[in-house]
Structure 1
Amino acid sequence: MQHFVYIMASRPNGAIYIGRARDLRARVEQHRAGLSVHTERYGIKTLVWFETQDGFAASLQRERALKRWRRAWKNQLIAETNPEWQDMTANIPF
């Protein structure tokens, strides 16, 4: 079953949130509705990066790895696919 690992941001190079979800569209809407304390507190509402994983274990491993990365590496990962840090919600596959 397909899972997603994603990064949301408040603004370019601003506060970020790294997470994973099976239904990324629904999870993004939860963040935007303020149902996550961290994203609500820091105004994190823009999906700036995501990737698909083949299953739960792979998504968990990738999420944990990304959370250990230095901030500069995370910013570079985002900039490689989304240099303007634009919202990518419309690019989520169905």
Structure 2
Amino acid sequence: MKDHSYYVYILTNYSKTVLYVGVTNNLVRRLDEHKQGLSGFTAKYNCFYLLYWEHHKYVYNAIEREKEIKGWRRSKKETLINEFNPEWKFLNDEIQDQ
């Protein structure tokens, strides 16, 4: 297993009615790809606003966590977001600055 940086993240649309869970090794690049409409689901629903992210050292752990979160009901995803980002602020600019 490679030892790098991997991220599990949750995106939403402007009105916060849709949640999308993804995994990447470059969060800044991936957010830009979503904003450009390069992904089917996120392009269709205009999901490119970052609400939540977590860092993982190993790709296997990140993929397993993504699968876990994707399997949750929306209410459980909302609880996760609320613990990390209680105001549901769009975090895209904060990530760009890192």
Q: Percent identity among equivalent residues?
A: 32
The TM-score with structure 1 as length reference comes to 0.91
1:52: which partner in 2? Answer: 55
Counterpart AA for 1:63: E
2:66: which partner in 1? Answer: 63
Match of 2:35 among 23, 32, 36: 32
- SS of aligned partner of 2:86: coil
1:9 corresponds to 2:12 = yes
Q: Which has the higher strand share?
A: 2
Change (3 A) 1:40 1:32: same
Structure 1 residue ranges, 4+ long, deviating more than 6 angstroms after superposition:
none
* Corresponding pairs, count: 94
Cα offset, 1:81, TM superposition? 1.5
1:13–1:75 Cα contact (<8 Å) kept: no
Counterpart AA for 1:14: T
1:2–1:52 Cα contact (<8 Å) kept: yes
Superposed CA offset, 1:29-83 (max 9, x none): 0000000110111111200000001111000000000001111000111111212
Any unmatched runs of 5+ in structure 2? Answer: none
1:41: which partner in 2? Answer: 44
Cα offset, 1:12, TM superposition? 5.6
Cα RMSD between the aligned structures?
Answer: 1.5
- SS of aligned partner of 1:61: helix
1:84 corresponds to 2:94 = no
